Amino acid sequence: MTYEQFAKQIRRETLRCMNSQGSGHVGGSLSIADLLSVLYTSHMKADPRKPKMADRDQLVLSKGHAGPALYATLTLKGFFPMDWLNTLNKLGTRLPSHVNLNLTPGVDMTAGSLGQGLSCACGLALAQKAQGFDNYVYVIMGDGELQEGQNWEGAMFAGAHKLNNVIVFVDNNKMQIDGMTSDVLSVEDIEAKFKAFGFVTDRVDGHDHAIINDAIVRAKKDTTVAPHCIVLDTVKGKGVSFYENLGPSNHSTTVTDEQFAKALDELK
């Protein structure tokens, strides 16, 4: 299966999951579908039959509100049955809207309170090194999320401890809950900020699969003993025209039966 086909499947299943409750964090879930397609096709060392395998790669979805995009990816990879997607946020569910490592096979860190993921990833990365594993800890952060101060404590720690097994992705869709990130509180220059804390950085089109893959391959091949940050320029709501056109109000919005059917038409 191509990256393109898998990304479309991820978008379809993400919206199916949200359609089960009638709404969800649509914009920021669709904007990471292409990254998830590349990561889970070519990079994540993870086994759906052994989701807690000690020497696996780990993914910290720090922007934990995009849980449905990760659930779509994980179920398509065989981590749990597809019909779990219909239980988003329902009483007793294994799929809460914000990711929880104790509930969902394949979810490596609990998140939802923004700003904490990189700190958690530092702990995971140190532990992996202590055990002699040569795997990676990937972190997906939002651009608005970068306004949280704890990110920069995490970045300082990762840089100081030269955690070269950490690769941070910033889903730079330029929007947050209340509007454009540049209007609320600008987070640029993102690369310069991470560089200042000792990261090696890169910035690429977050919807071009080959380019995303190249950036990850470059980060892994790089011999600098340092954590890496790849800023992905993305579009919030990417892949479904009427969600893209909503602008910042696509952050959390409806996925009615009618909208879902229209989206499926666009995602053929």
Ligand X SMILES: Cc1ncc(C[n+]2csc(CCOP(=O)(O)OP(=O)(O)O)c2C)c(N)n1
Out of Mg ion, ligand X, none, what residue 44 binds, judged by CB under 5 to 8 A for its kind, is: none
Give me 267's structure tokens. Answer: 């995602």
Residue 142 touching Mg ion (CB under 5 A): yes
Contacts of 52 (CB under 8 A, 6+ apart): none
Q: Which residues bind ligand X (CB under 6 A)?
A: 27-28, 63, 65, 112-115, 142-145, 171, 173, 175-177, 236, 251
Distance in Å, CB of 147 to ligand X, minimum: 8
H/E stretch holding 249 reads: none
Residue 144 touching Mg ion (CB under 5 A): yes
Asked whether 137 and 44 are in contact (CB, 8 A), the reply is no
**Rounded Cα gap, residues 63 and 47, in angstroms:** 23
Q: Give whichever of 124 and 141 is closer to Mg ion, judged by the CB atom.
A: 141
Site map 167..196 versus Mg ion, x via CB under 5 A: ------x-xx--------------------
Q: Give whichever of 145 and 202 is closer to ligand X, judged by the CB atom.
A: 145
Distance in Å, CB of 143 to Mg ion, minimum: 4
Give me 98's structure tokens. Answer: 């914000």
Asked whether 62 and 101 are in contact (CB, 8 A), the reply is no
Which segment (54-62, 139-147, 149-157, 260-268) binds Mg ion by CB under 5 A? 139-147
Write the DSSP string, 198-225. Answer: T-EEEEEETT-HHHHHHHHHHHHH--SS
**Rounded Cα gap, residues 175 and 180, in angstroms:** 4
Residue 143 touching Mg ion (CB under 5 A): yes
